[in-house]
Amino acid sequence: MGKALRIVQTVSSSITFAYGLGIFGWFLSKHNINSAVWALLLGLSSGAVLHLNVLLIRKTILNWYGKKSFRIFKAIGVLLSIAAIAAAVTYYYLAISKKQKFDLLTFYTSGTLSLMTLKGSLGLFFISRNQIRIIEEDSTINGIDTINTNFS
């Protein structure tokens, strides 16, 4: 990914990070726990993507994280994506079945926030997948087989 695109993604993640954490507090004050939870997950996942993008721009990401960490980030991204899609379907079903009007305090908002969380969760998945590939290519080029190391 080009540096300009990485910077755009970083700016987008920072806006989404601030937005998610900001509306988390607002939804808590309105006692809308469903939307508050998804706003928090939106902010945290975007914050993680922001952190990884800053490290990528500074070219220090491999100093901070290794292959195991990226596998964990990738798994979190997959699990959060599945949860977000399942929650969105559930929230939209509940909103339609209860004949709710479009309002900030209905299930429509919770469903929309859960879908917005996909941005961060997929960002975690793709950045981690790319870094795992880079680590594996680098270890293959240098003649180090990190998968089948024999210590005997």
Are 50 and 6 contacting, i.e. CB atoms less than 8 angstroms apart? Answer: no
Query: Is residue 115 in some structural domain?
Result: yes
Q: Which helix (H) or strand (E) holds 96?
A: helix 67-97
> Which pLDDT score, from 0 to 100, does residue 143 have?
60
Say if 149 falls within a structural domain: no
The span from the CA of 145 to the CA of 139, in Å, is: 6
Q: Is residue 146 part of a domain?
A: no
Cα 75 from chain centroid (whole Å): 11
Residues 6+ apart with CB under 8 A from 44: 20, 120
Query: What confidence tens digit (pLDDT) does each residue in 77-95 have?
Result: 999 999 999 999 999 999 9
- Across 109-126, average pLDDT: 95
Rounded to whole angstroms, the Cα distance separating 85 from 100 reads 20
Confidence of residue 144 (pLDDT cuts 50, 70, 90): low
Q: Decide if 62 is inside a domain.
A: yes
Lowest mean pLDDT among 2-11, 120-129, 141-150: 141-150
Q: Is 152 domain-assigned? A: no
pLDDT value at position 5?
85
Assigned domain for 40 exists: yes
Tens of pLDDT along 55-85? 999 999 999 999 999 999 999 999 999 999 9
The tokens of 66 are what? 């290794």
pLDDT at 146 over 80: no
Q: How many domains would you assign to the chain?
A: 1
Report the Cα 34 to chain-centroid distance in Å: 18
User: Looking at residue 105, what is its pLDDT?
Assistant: 86
Tell me whether residue 44 is in a domain: yes
Quick one: what percent of the chain has pLDDT higher than 70?
A: 91
| Domain assignment of residue 86, yes or no | yes
4-46: pLDDT as tens digits: 888 888 999 999 999 999 999 999 999 999 999 999 999 999 9
Note down the domain range covering 35: 3-141
pTM: 0.85
